Structure 1
């Protein structure tokens, strides 16, 4: 485990096992300011955490205000008295903690009532069903307005806020109640990292102090710190559980290089020199108009390699925040939940959780790569080249959601370009489709290919991830790409922290292609991205080595773990992620592992709002809620984890109930 991050003088903060922070200030041992009784209480707290390891509390004892003769005779007696409960078998509630490899750089705490609650920022279900809440001054929103916008955006991006999506009359959650409480927002930095990452802890007023529980919820994709609210919020906050969210080193923090502005803890844009800025990148001497650095693509930290560490750090920080609010001997039940990249982060945290912080994991559509499997970068760069060509088949494409004649024409052009470049034997959509099937895409995963191509998802993902893997900055992204916001309005810039996905274009941000040329202008850049995976030059070798650092071990602890995946997931196909991971984990001895697969469910529930999609698809998020309910029941001893299950729900506009979902069968 790397050494703790250094803390600035004049306060020396000693991070000990159990994440207890002890502050030693100049004059602490003098008989001025604090009483011996207060110091004795602090020393007792240390020994409670470190039963059996008294040396970790010697620093406190050395500062205890005693004369030298008294210290010589008093020290053995004091240590014996303080550690006697350890010898009799007393256990610490925090014994699962470990020496942290992270430091807290900044934090703030706010209290929110029903009008700005933790679950919906005061919007309620009706507010989530409405359009985005506009700030009074869109070019200069307040912190409260940005928070409300971020929470609304998270809900509309991940959920279907109506009965057919499990929310509203007859659904799994008939209402989203206002949950008042506190939010602690913090910037943490992992040992060895250049930049901090965000953690946000929500502690509801209805915190269950008798059976305390904590959810750790890393954001999906590269989303901001509120990105997992729709998954974790309803099952956690309505039960009185606390939640620790994290952007896992990606997120929506950015640096407007042309104006030298970056978001602070609250998302407000701050100028150069402001100590509260969450992300700053070294700017060039004369950045072009709209020059922009995004944290995931440009931090130089390769955050994906450390997603598991980010999750465990969030858990450790949250436990610190809960200590003063819980009875002394409370045992906190901790469950990690995530969707997509957040699900992968939760699984990888479990794999490295040597201290036993986590009690269970629920992973929904994880972007997880086990031994011998193709990672996202491999199949994303392949799909970026060949999936457009496959759409040249008019009969298939026009029957798909978002399928249209423009995509058919573009697809045929791509087929011609690939054939001319020697990348396809003939300009035939069926050949491209066959390549995708051979690579591991199944028919259900290809069913929504028109959406991936229309939204340019593959290029957005591959361009940003290649930059992160090669630790590039905004001026030298691989293959000539750049993220530029030359024409973004002031309102768009002010909202990026709350509304951007954290990767690729959107909201006035463009993905500029420096290699674009010819009738199929995107092809040269996409070929370049693909060659970074299949060639053997130095950059390609470096990129593959970086991707290898993200590969999962599939070595899970003996805790309940549930994976859930949609069979029609065309972004992270189950055949390339969840299924092989489950198989590998079981081969490595995982005994408390279950897998649910859902027919007619895909990666983006918001896609159900596209005309025609709701008639053929069902949302995946309600299965995440049901999975969390199930695992919590397992932890309480009410049910067994059970066997793998496959669900075949029927789509439609009726309320999504447990019966319609097939949960009670």
Structure 2
């Protein structure tokens, strides 16, 4: 480990006899089923919380439905007994820790030493990448090191002064080390979330989080197999992989890896940007502002989830009128306002097939929710001083405090996405009493990207610290991205990154997958699944190719547009529809 690494003493647990590493004993059917239950809902055990966290992480990333092909066309969930080592890790200069966890299977391949290191997608908790990194690595005898990269659902509630311990249970501040323990919050400040409120801008350190998790993984292997220590980057193959924000994190690690500890990097739908390209906050706040107004355009008439939950009169028409009233659109009639909003999105680089899947994020209010958390992180605000007057509030059942609140809190660590709203937590503020009540907050968030003043300057400066650095020459890098990704469009992320690497003389492999979008989990819904293919099987295939390159000396594959991939249609997914790249 590096002399600068700081780790608390790890918690070590064994997982055998019906409680394994990959599915906590649930198997594929159990992972796909209803959420596991707690014997005592207000005080779940660490084992119950772990099982539910693993299940929710699988279901949040993979399509485990009967028509999705998991377990038959790709992937599997075998029983993988072993041990887990978890602790809170600290980067030099950081105020808050990131949680790290290493899974060591009993059948760890000691002849072909392999460590997969990964970072959670989105702002998910520590198991957030298990469907990718664990699903590929554990059945092959690899150990897997995870980091939450400064996110996670270790929410702190100042109303009762509780946060999350290392084992996932809640405890009062001062009684035990907590995953996140902000200081000085008033009881009514609102729920504090590590990604948004740590004061660290964790995104700036995503790459360092991944590399520190890799070093922790090597140290854990020393401890797990002392007779075969030391485990080093010279005698252990370290492959970094992740998807979405986790994909961006492993690419950032590639640029930060001055010691050369990574053997290969495989990134799926990565949230990555380079200097001069559009950042996620830039295009997310643009989508939050303009997409609701564009949704009344005819091209969205047959798009799944494009207009879910709209009020009467239609909310998308109201957004167009409100933007005109604020001087953000010039057209007078609703149809012309929709066309104007759509034209502005296209001018910004949005493509029509990408906008079709971006519409679902608009209907789910995802753009606004994510932008709130990012803005708070960039401006280093605490829970009581989020920009735009936003706050996260405990949402009491039946509108009043009661015993149910303790039950809801107890499940946050297992169920939370790391970015509220969610069960028991509402996103408040940033609204007015107009017919388009969320617009004031959206305008504030958008103007922090495009406007003037100290706060806007601070936010843009913070975003600049998240730009990628060039990886070392010769490092195998494989990037897999859905052509119809509407949350992190390839045109704003993977494609400029790949061009940048190639302009520098590097040779990344880029697979662009037709009909693939961002959320494989959405494919369980018929309207979505009929039109798209999952991205996860292409990630597994890319990991296979990366392993063949670094462990067997085979040449890297060529770029692939996967031209024969096609939507599954009304029936189950088929191998022909996937058309996975061949060796």
Structure 1: tracts of 5 or more residues without a match: 1-18, 20-98
Alignment of structure 1 residues 410-559 onto 2, 5 Å: 410-426=315-331, 427=334, 428-487=337-396, 489-559=405-475
**Residue 437 of structure 1: CA displacement?**
1.1
Aligned 8 A contact 1:257 1:283 in 2: no
**Residue 282 of structure 1: CA displacement?**
1.8
1:629 aligns with 2:544: yes
TM-score in terms of structure 2 length: 0.93
After superposition, the Cα gap between the structure-2 partners of 1:254 and 1:431, relative to the gap in structure 1 and judged at 3 Å, is same
User: 2:348, 2:314 → 1: CA distance?
Assistant: 25
User: 1:272, 1:249 → 2: CA distance?
Assistant: 19
Q: Which residue of 1 aligns with 2:402?
A: none
- 93, 96, 120: which one pairs with 1:219? 120
Q: Which residue of 1 aligns with 2:203?
A: 304
Q: Which residue of 2 aligns with 1:140?
A: 43
Alignment of structure 1 residues 151-230 onto 2, 5 Å: 151-162=54-65, 164-168=67-71, 170-173=72-75, 175-230=76-131
User: 2:229, 2:145 → 1: CA distance?
Assistant: 21
1:125 aligns with 2:28: yes
Could you report, residue by residue, the CA deviation over 1:240-297 in whole angstroms, capped at 9, with x for unpaired residues?
Answer: 0000011011111110110101000111001121232111012434426xx2100000
**Residue 320 of structure 1: CA displacement?**
0.7
Q: Which residue of 2 aligns with 1:374?
A: 278
After superposition, the Cα gap between the structure-2 partners of 1:590 and 1:365, relative to the gap in structure 1 and judged at 3 Å, is same
Q: Which residue of 1 aligns with 2:480?
A: 564
**Residue 658 of structure 1: CA displacement?**
7.4
Q: More deviation in 489-498 or 188-197?
A: 489-498
Alignment of structure 1 residues 44-443 onto 2, 5 Å: 99-162=2-65, 164-168=67-71, 170-173=72-75, 175-287=76-188, 291-324=190-223, 325=225, 327-328=228-229, 331-393=235-297, 395-404=298-307, 407=310, 409-426=314-331, 427=334, 428-443=337-352
After superposition, the Cα gap between the structure-2 partners of 1:103 and 1:314, relative to the gap in structure 1 and judged at 3 Å, is same
Q: More deviation in 487-496 or 421-430?
A: 487-496
Aligned 8 A contact 1:251 1:295 in 2: yes
After superposition, the Cα gap between the structure-2 partners of 1:100 and 1:583, relative to the gap in structure 1 and judged at 3 Å, is farther
TM-score in terms of structure 1 length: 0.82
Q: More deviation in 197-206 or 616-625?
A: 616-625
After superposition, the Cα gap between the structure-2 partners of 1:470 and 1:655, relative to the gap in structure 1 and judged at 3 Å, is same
**Residue 163 of structure 1: CA displacement?**
5.5
Q: Secondary structure at the match of 2:526?
A: coil
Aligned 8 A contact 2:306 2:362 in 1: no
Over aligned residue pairs, what C-alpha RMSD do you find? 1.7
**Residue 651 of structure 1: CA displacement?**
2.0
Q: Which of 1 and 2 has greater Rg?
A: 1
User: 2:497, 2:17 → 1: CA distance?
Assistant: 42
**Residue 328 of structure 1: CA displacement?**
4.4
Structure 2: tracts of 5 or more residues without a match: 398-404
1:641 aligns with 2:535: no
After superposition, the Cα gap between the structure-2 partners of 1:103 and 1:362, relative to the gap in structure 1 and judged at 3 Å, is same
**Residue 634 of structure 1: CA displacement?**
1.3
Q: Which residue of 2 aligns with 1:600?
A: 515
Q: More deviation in 521-530 or 441-450?
A: 441-450
Q: For this pair of structures, how many residues does the alignment match?
A: 562
User: 1:637, 1:163 → 2: CA distance?
Assistant: 35
After superposition, the Cα gap between the structure-2 partners of 1:537 and 1:659, relative to the gap in structure 1 and judged at 3 Å, is closer
Aligned 8 A contact 1:262 1:277 in 2: yes
User: 1:650, 1:618 → 2: CA distance?
Assistant: 7
Q: Secondary structure at the match of 1:238?
A: helix
Q: Secondary structure at the match of 2:315?
A: helix
After superposition, the Cα gap between the structure-2 partners of 1:222 and 1:146, relative to the gap in structure 1 and judged at 3 Å, is same
User: 2:576, 2:279 → 1: CA distance?
Assistant: 34
